[in-house]
A and B are shown apart, each in its own frame.
Chain A
Amino acid sequence: MLFRKNRKRFHEQIQLNTQQEITGQKGLLSSDLDENLHVFHSIYQDCMDVVFRTFLIGGQTRAVLIFIEGLSNLEEVDDNVLAPLASETEGKVRPRELLEKKIHISKMKEVKTVTECIEYISVGFPVLLVEQEMVGLALGLCKWEKRSIEEPQAESVVRGPREGFVEALHVNTSLLRRKIKSPDLKMKSRKIGRYTDTHVVIAYMKGLADQTLIEEVENRLQRIDIDSVLESGYIEELIEDNPYSPFPQLINTERPDVAAANLLEGRVVILVDGTPFVLIAPISFFSLLQSPEDYYQRFLISSAIRLLRFVFMLMSLLLPSLYVAVLTYHQEMVPTALLISMFSSRETVPFPALVEALMMEITFEALREAGVRLPKQVGAAVSIVGALIVGQAAVQAGLVSAPMVIFVAITGVSSFMVPHYTQGIALRMLRFPIMLLAGSLGLLGIMLGVILIVVHLCGLRSFGEPYLSPIAPMKKNELKDSLIRAPWWGMNKRPHLTGEYNPYRQAPGQKPNPGKGDES
């Protein structure tokens, strides 16, 4: 009932908003410059950053240039618009001709309605309105401050490209285009966000991505009606298959090479203006274990590291629970010597194993979170205090046992082995309920928890794609790129996402071998 009421009120509000917009902005430009000016002045009332520059074209016709300070390239405007237009001309010339003669800008659009004008002004195009003209001109002279391309902080690699996406959308699209030069790389744009009007681009490879997938993505984006999109996370939450699942159904990346590789495997990339994180869909459980470097390092090493990652991923989920279960229910499972040493170190600990484990794990999570949020200068202090207090003092004071600290440390390290931060978080959160199960039911509880997770994963889908995809359902060919990474000359077939058509990505028989290539 609570929800129903809220929703009703929300609908009323929406109607109000839209009505206001229509009366104010949908009208055509008038031929009377003063009238136009009046409209724009009232729209941009109390907007100190909007500049109205009135001047005379050729010293005769009145004109006004509207732009937002900081979004437009003022030097260019001065040199290429104001200077040539304002100069005195002999005889009476029609301003329209003058404009065409004197303004030399590659990107120029005619605008007819007030709404269009506002759109262009908002993205930084100065709009030129001239007396007696029903049509305004949007000049493509925008220039705003943006971050330069840097190495992605969250996804660094030892070997591989160092460039990362930035906040500006057109820079990001250009980075993608630089990787994939084929015109088959399509980018469809749409705007989402009632106030922010954020550009969202759906990029895909024509002929590689399944048509139904693209339609599905477009449909889901279509449904979004939200007042702002400040980060791709907003969109992710609104287009997920199962919003309650702890596992992410889209991955995000800052790396153009990752985005390009996924495009070439038939996936869809969603770029959002204002954030360096682009979304990739559909994904499977195993794409979360893949690091871009796997494909750049030699395949044996990559495969070994992937297996290591998988093992440690399981450990980050189960290790503290196993410790609790074994120590509270199954002491006979530990070798005697080990049990004796654990026994003696737990002797002074006043808490049951479960409480001890929960306490330590929560403390670790807090330390991690504090380390991420704190300013860099303070962060070091926190980690030192954390390491000293938790690692040393707590053990010496007899509050926690030394083995517990070791297990927490291993769990902590292993949770950072997962290359995609989002999935690491999912597993880190899931280990708490499993710990509770282990504390109440022992190993049986752990198995229950694992079964629950596996059942959930089996049912989970990402844009219709089964989440455990290469394993359940079994796709033999794709096992080459799941827990291991086959060499490039062995991966001739594309993932099945591409559909039935276009199955081969390279010529067969490219395994280097001394017999071949010697044609003479």
Chain B
Amino acid sequence: MNHFLSQSMTKLFLVLLLFSASFLLTGCWDRREVNDTALVLGAAIDKEKGENIKLTIQVLIPRAVSGGQQGAGGGGEGPTVLVRSAIGENMADATSKLQTEFPRKIFWGHCKVYIIGTKLAKAGGLHKQIDFWLRHPEPRERADLFVSVGKAANILELQPPLELYVGQALRKLSEMHIGMSVTVKDFEQMLKGDTGTALLPLIKTLPPLTGNKQETIANIIGTAIFKKDKMVGQIDTKVTRGLLWLRNEVEVTAVTVNPKKGETISLDPIREKTKLIPTIKNGKWKILAKITSEGTIVQNGSHLDIMSTDITKRIEKELEKDIKQRLNLPLIQVKNGMNVDAFGFADAFHRKYPKEWEKVKDHWDKVLPQVDVKIAIKTRIRRPGLTTTPAGVPENEVEKK
């Protein structure tokens, strides 16, 4: 008994000794107190002379955002973020140069917005920069990517009136799916895809409302179109909508038609679906874009009684016409104008006709202009909204048919 006891005590001490040693041996090599980190909230890269880039980062000033009771005294005024930039051969090089300007360790883990300047985008070779975001353990693969009109660094200097920092504002805008919403991972996959076509949201500084020039945000004004990681063109918001519709990515859009001059009816689509059906017949490549759309009427600025099925049929027809027009815009501008397959036609053909695709995949650029695109739209008005007759129109003036 006592022999056992002393033995187990020795064992216990030994275990405790090893246990305490483990704290010294690990060395906590990757320990990183929050007080010692510089939290990067947004980053911008611009082209510099030669092959160099200029990396600009936006770092949180923790003292400035202290919320709650203590914040009432100290924080509140002054910028919440600090913007610094450095020139380097690539991201990693620029980062290490930036590090010399910060007493705290630069931490990429919360950088959710990357902005690329147009100059760099047009110069090409973006794949060299993305590699850092995908290889380094800290940056997020799901950070949003943007292309800015003009210098990207300027956008990080803005002080958004509603949000804490520009990155947050941009991210929220992109989440609404008004324009393209592309993460680093998506961008990389697009570049690797069949056609090497990539789309990035294009942003531009909004004109400020007040006198303070910095107090504004940047918003999405269109889409930058990339071919083999080089920006080849851009389209505006309206065209982007049509593009999103064809790519089956559209989310919130109200479609307005004019049954008569000066009268409007708006439909808020609640369910949209696009299906690309490729066919190859007698060597002719065709795409049928089948689009179904359902929605609620949110505004009726006409004299029409939308409760009547005849009238809804008529409006549906009008809507289809309107949508068709929207869809034609990107087809004309992007497909015909830039000869870029931004719609995923290549994927559709690849999936259905893998053998034929093998033959054309190297000269898809030459095949694309010949692809014939047909659009078939089916629209349904599911709900007339909360009122029946048009608001403020006397009963006898409402058109029943």
- Does A41 sit within 8 A of B, measured CB to CB? no
Task: For chain B, give the interface size range.
Answer: 35 or more
Contacts of B6 in A (CB 8 A): 1-4
- Does B76 sit within 8 A of A, measured CB to CB? no
Using CB atoms, name the residue of chain A closest to B22: A440
Q: In the complex the two chains form, what is the Cα distance from A395 to B71 in whole Å?
A: 13
Contact assessment for B34 and A331 in the assembled complex, using a CB-CB cutoff below 8 Å: yes
Task: Encode B96-111 as 1/0 by CB contact (under 8 A) with A.
Answer: 0000000000010110
Q: In the complex the two chains form, what is the Cα distance from A346 to B37 in whole Å?
A: 12
Contact assessment for A344 and B30 in the assembled complex, using a CB-CB cutoff below 8 Å: no
Using CB atoms, name the residue of chain B closest to A339: B110
Q: In the complex the two chains form, what is the Cα distance from A395 to B70 in whole Å?
A: 9
Q: In the complex the two chains form, what is the Cα distance from A453 to B331 in whole Å?
A: 63
Contact assessment for B28 and A440 in the assembled complex, using a CB-CB cutoff below 8 Å: yes
Contact assessment for A347 and B67 in the assembled complex, using a CB-CB cutoff below 8 Å: no
- Does A396 sit within 8 A of B, measured CB to CB? yes
Contact assessment for B67 and A328 in the assembled complex, using a CB-CB cutoff below 8 Å: no
- Does A488 sit within 8 A of B, measured CB to CB? no
- Does A352 sit within 8 A of B, measured CB to CB? yes
When A329-B31, A344-B67 are in contact, do A4 and B2 touch as well, CB less than 8 Å? yes
CB distance from B107 to the nearest CB of A (A): 7
Task: Encode A4-28 as 1/0 by CB contact (under 8 A) with B.
Answer: 1001000000000000000000000
When A3-B5, A440-B23 are in contact, do A340 and B33 touch as well, CB less than 8 Å? no
Contact assessment for B109 and A340 in the assembled complex, using a CB-CB cutoff below 8 Å: no
- Does A349 sit within 8 A of B, measured CB to CB? yes
User: Which of A313-332 touch B at CB < 8 Å?
Assistant: 327-329, 331-332
Stretch of B58-66, B82-90, B195-203, B332-340 with 4 or more beta carbons under 8 angstroms from chain A:
B58-66
- Does B26 sit within 8 A of A, measured CB to CB? yes
CB distance from A225 to the nearest CB of B (A): 13
- Does A441 sit within 8 A of B, measured CB to CB? yes
- Does B303 sit within 8 A of A, measured CB to CB? no
Contact assessment for B70 and A396 in the assembled complex, using a CB-CB cutoff below 8 Å: yes
Contacts of B396 in A (CB 8 A): none
Contact of A353 among B5, B33, B37, B71 (CB under 8 A): B33
Contact assessment for A340 and B2 in the assembled complex, using a CB-CB cutoff below 8 Å: no
Q: In the complex the two chains form, what is the Cα distance from A329 to B31 in whole Å?
A: 5
Task: For chain A, give the interface size range.
Answer: 20 to 34
Of B6, B12, B66, most A-chain CB atoms within 10 Å: B66
User: Which of A424-439 touch B at CB < 8 Å?
Assistant: 436, 439
Contact of A332 among B22, B33, B35, B140 (CB under 8 A): B140
Contact assessment for A352 and B33 in the assembled complex, using a CB-CB cutoff below 8 Å: yes
Contact assessment for B109 and A331 in the assembled complex, using a CB-CB cutoff below 8 Å: yes
When A3-B2, A3-B6, A343-B62 are in contact, do A332 and B31 touch as well, CB less than 8 Å? no
Q: In the complex the two chains form, what is the Cα distance from A107 to B150 in whole Å?
A: 107
- Does A342 sit within 8 A of B, measured CB to CB? yes
Of A2, A331, A342, A396, most B-chain CB atoms within 10 Å: A331
When A3-B2, A3-B6, A346-B35 are in contact, do A331 and B107 touch as well, CB less than 8 Å? yes
Contact of B34 among A1, A4, A342 (CB under 8 A): A342
Of B39, B110, B112, most A-chain CB atoms within 10 Å: B110
- Does B164 sit within 8 A of A, measured CB to CB? yes
CB distance from B290 to the nearest CB of A (A): 39
Task: Encode B334-366 as 1/0 by CB contact (under 8 A) with A.
Answer: 000000000000000000000000000000000
Contact assessment for A345 and B33 in the assembled complex, using a CB-CB cutoff below 8 Å: no
Contact assessment for B5 and A343 in the assembled complex, using a CB-CB cutoff below 8 Å: no
- Does B175 sit within 8 A of A, measured CB to CB? no
- Does A336 sit within 8 A of B, measured CB to CB? yes
CB distance from B59 to the nearest CB of A (A): 11
Contact assessment for B164 and A340 in the assembled complex, using a CB-CB cutoff below 8 Å: yes
User: Which of B40-77 touch A at CB < 8 Å?
Assistant: 41, 60, 62-68, 70-71, 75
Contact assessment for B23 and A328 in the assembled complex, using a CB-CB cutoff below 8 Å: no
Q: In the complex the two chains form, what is the Cα distance from A436 to B24 in whole Å?
A: 12
- Does B138 sit within 8 A of A, measured CB to CB? yes
- Does A54 sit within 8 A of B, measured CB to CB? no
When A331-B32, A331-B107 are in contact, do A340 and B26 touch as well, CB less than 8 Å? no
Contact assessment for B66 and A344 in the assembled complex, using a CB-CB cutoff below 8 Å: yes
- Does A189 sit within 8 A of B, measured CB to CB? no
Contact of A340 among B12, B39, B140 (CB under 8 A): B39
Q: In the complex the two chains form, what is the Cα distance from A439 to B140 in whole Å?
A: 24
Contact assessment for B32 and A340 in the assembled complex, using a CB-CB cutoff below 8 Å: no
Contact assessment for B28 and A343 in the assembled complex, using a CB-CB cutoff below 8 Å: no
Contact assessment for B31 and A328 in the assembled complex, using a CB-CB cutoff below 8 Å: yes
Contact assessment for A340 and B34 in the assembled complex, using a CB-CB cutoff below 8 Å: no
Contacts of A327 in B (CB 8 A): 33-34
Q: In the complex the two chains form, what is the Cα distance from A441 to B107 in whole Å?
A: 19
- Does A219 sit within 8 A of B, measured CB to CB? no
Contact assessment for B110 and A347 in the assembled complex, using a CB-CB cutoff below 8 Å: no
Contact assessment for A340 and B28 in the assembled complex, using a CB-CB cutoff below 8 Å: no
Q: In the complex the two chains form, what is the Cα distance from A343 to B5 in whole Å?
A: 49
Using CB atoms, name the residue of chain A closest to B12: A244
Contacts of B138 in A (CB 8 A): 332
Contact of A331 among B63, B66, B110 (CB under 8 A): B110
Contact assessment for A347 and B63 in the assembled complex, using a CB-CB cutoff below 8 Å: yes
CB distance from B21 to the nearest CB of A (A): 11
Contact of B23 among A332, A395, A436 (CB under 8 A): A436
- Does A341 sit within 8 A of B, measured CB to CB? yes
User: Which of B105-137 touch A at CB < 8 Å?
Assistant: 107, 109-110, 112
Contacts of A440 in B (CB 8 A): 22-23, 26, 28
CB distance from A94 to the nearest CB of B (A): 57
Contact assessment for A332 and B2 in the assembled complex, using a CB-CB cutoff below 8 Å: no
Contact assessment for B66 and A332 in the assembled complex, using a CB-CB cutoff below 8 Å: no
Contacts of A86 in B (CB 8 A): none
Contacts of B3 in A (CB 8 A): 4
Contact assessment for B34 and A343 in the assembled complex, using a CB-CB cutoff below 8 Å: yes
- Does A402 sit within 8 A of B, measured CB to CB? yes
Using CB atoms, name the residue of chain B closest to A398: B70
Q: In the complex the two chains form, what is the Cα distance from A352 to B168 in whole Å?
A: 29
Contact of B32 among A7, A328, A396 (CB under 8 A): A328
Q: List 12 A-B contacts (CB under 8 A).
A: A244-B12, A328-B28, A328-B33, A331-B34, A331-B109, A336-B168, A340-B65, A345-B67, A347-B35, A347-B62, A352-B33, A440-B26
User: 8 tightest A-B contacts by CB?
Assistant: A332-B109, A344-B66, A344-B62, A347-B62, A3-B2, A336-B110, A343-B62, A344-B65
Other A-B contacts than A340-B65, A346-B35, 19 sampled, CB-CB below 8 A, are A1-B6, A3-B2, A3-B5, A327-B34, A328-B28, A328-B32, A329-B31, A332-B140, A336-B41, A336-B168, A340-B62, A343-B62, A343-B65, A347-B35, A347-B66, A349-B35, A353-B33, A353-B34, A440-B22
